[in-house]
Amino acid sequence: MPNAPLRRTKRSKPWLLLLIQLALAAGVACLSAYGFLHMQDHAVTFMPLSARVDVAPEGRLGAPSAASRAMVISGREIPASSPSIVTYRDAVARAAPTVVTVHSAHTAKAAIPLAPMAVVNGLGSGVILDRNGYIVTNYHVVEDATALAVVLADGTTHLASLAGVDAQSDIALLKIEAIDLQPIELADINDVAVGDVVLALGNPLGVGQTVTQGIVSAVVRKGANPVENFIQTDAAINPGNSGGALVDTAGRLIGINTLILSHSGGSEGIGFAIPVDYVRTIAAILKTKGRVARAWLGISTGTPAVGNGALVVSVEHEGPADRAGITPGDVIVAIGERSVEHPQDLRGVVIGAEPGTRVPIELTRNGKRAIVEVELAPLPAAQTSR
């Protein structure tokens, strides 16, 4: 029966087809299940929280709740309704109550003989230094004033008197009788650097207390007087800002705004402030003596390459330092009982010191320490007139 195997083959074909179809169906089902599970896992890991769906009490799908409308960034949940903003409101809140407006009255000669004297009103700004009513401003704000008044940030007006002036540094110290004054916090000048964000507070052009923002553009800018480390800023400073505060983003005083460089008379982004350490020194002397004596040491200094102190760069011939044996390359580390951390610390010696005073100076030379005594001399006329 030669055809028997062929018939068996024909009879078994439907069963083979059925087995193949079942196998294919099972494979498709497995792949579908795997894809479904993979999609669910992917959605749980990367789906924004704003895509969460709430279930209504009736069991129906509802809209996302307000609490669920958020994003996940770096593992933190940030509500979409709370955008991040940059603000200096805290710094302003700390500094603004300490900045005042200074009104000054000046009498001027009349153009016509025997005519009444004319009264010229001036306007500037000032900063409260302590609770006892001492206020620092610029000397040119109060120069030759016959009457002075201070308007505090709360709008109250107080008559002011001069506690002392120093024309050479363009600093004046006023005194008012008031209670509950808020003094400004002083910053460390050594923490001030180019690029720092700063705020200028004052009363520009008489429009009322105003805050402008900029950065520290440069430091150690020579000005029109012996303050040789002006802070330069591009914060808008205009007439009326003189004597106002330049503060950091913590609301701490870093300088007193004093002048602008301008071709038009308005702000061109080049303003200068007297640094806070200098202001503090002058104000302390004016408070106790009413004037600022100045002596001469006869050296120029810089920052040493290693360590603290003041590197002696040059020595004036036959000056006080020269006569005491100080030479270029020496590093001054102490004067009297005060250590010298930075070159500007030397200002405390010559500013306020009477000529003829003898001061011990500790220095290092070639790695060895030495102490010399210097007799301070009067400030040369060329420097006094600057």
For the chain, the domains span 90-176, 189-289, 295-380
**Would you call 65 a catalytic residue per the annotation?**
no
What pLDDT does residue 5 have?
Answer: 41
pLDDT-derived band of residue 59, with 50, 70 and 90 as boundaries?
A: very low
Instruction: Render the burial of 272-293: b for 16+ CB within 10 Å, e for the rest.
Output: bbbbbbbbbbbbebbbeeeebb
pLDDT-derived band of residue 221, with 50, 70 and 90 as boundaries?
A: low
pLDDT-derived band of residue 74, with 50, 70 and 90 as boundaries?
A: low
Give the residue-averaged pLDDT of 128-138: 96
Checking if the pLDDT of 3 tops 70, the result is no
Residue 213 corresponds to which tokens in the numbers above?
């923002």
CATH of domain 90-176: 2.40.10.10
Which residue type is seen at 298? G
Which tops the pLDDT comparison, 26 or 288? 288
What pLDDT does residue 40 have?
Answer: 44
**CA-CA-CA-CA dihedral for 260, 261, 267, 271, to nearest 10:** -50
Statement: 189-289 belongs to CATH 3.30.70.580:
no
Give the residue-averaged pLDDT of 260-289: 89
Query: Which of the residues 104, 125, 169, 170 is marked catalytic?
Result: 170
**DSSP-assigned letter for residue 343:** G
Lowest average pLDDT, out of 23-27, 274-278, 286-290, 353-357, goes to: 23-27
pLDDT-derived band of residue 49, with 50, 70 and 90 as boundaries?
A: very low
On average, the pLDDT of the chain sits at: 80
**Would you call 103 a catalytic residue per the annotation?**
no
**Would you call 140 a catalytic residue per the annotation?**
yes
pLDDT-derived band of residue 67, with 50, 70 and 90 as boundaries?
A: very low
Phi/psi for 303 (5° steps) reads -90, 130
CATH of domain 295-380: 2.30.42.10
pLDDT-derived band of residue 28, with 50, 70 and 90 as boundaries?
A: low
pTM value surpassing 0.85: no
What CA–CA distances, in Å, run from 96 to 199, 203, 260? 11, 11, 22
**Cα–Cα distance for residue pair 332/326, rounded to 1 Å:** 9
Checking if the pLDDT of 48 tops 90, the result is no
What CA–CA distances, in Å, run from 282 to 108, 249, 276, 296? 29, 25, 10, 16
What pLDDT does residue 9 have?
Answer: 35
pLDDT-derived band of residue 76, with 50, 70 and 90 as boundaries?
A: low
What pLDDT does residue 111 have?
Answer: 66
What pLDDT does residue 6 have?
Answer: 36
What pLDDT does residue 62 have?
Answer: 44
Query: Which of the residues 104, 169, 242, 267 is marked catalytic?
Result: 242
Give the residue-averaged pLDDT of 351-363: 89
| E strand intervals along 64-185 | 70-73, 76-79, 99-108, 118-128, 134-137, 147-151, 157-166, 171-176
Query: What would the pLDDT profile of 334-347 be if each residue is shown by its tens digit?
Result: 988 888 988 878 87
Checking if the pLDDT of 250 tops 90, the result is yes
Which tops the pLDDT comparison, 206 or 73? 206
Checking if the pLDDT of 43 tops 80, the result is no
CB of 252 closer than 8 Å to CB of 185: yes
Give percent above pLDDT 90 in the chain.
53
Query: Which of the residues 68, 140, 196, 322 is marked catalytic?
Result: 140
**Cα–Cα distance for residue pair 278/170, rounded to 1 Å:** 11
Lowest average pLDDT, out of 47-61, 289-303, 359-373, goes to: 47-61
**CA-CA-CA-CA dihedral for 231, 237, 239, 241, to nearest 10:** -70
Q: Is-same-fold flag (189-289; 295-380)? A: no
Query: What would the pLDDT profile of 142-191 be if each residue is shown by its tens digit?
Result: 999 999 999 999 999 999 999 999 998 999 999 999 988 999 999 999 89
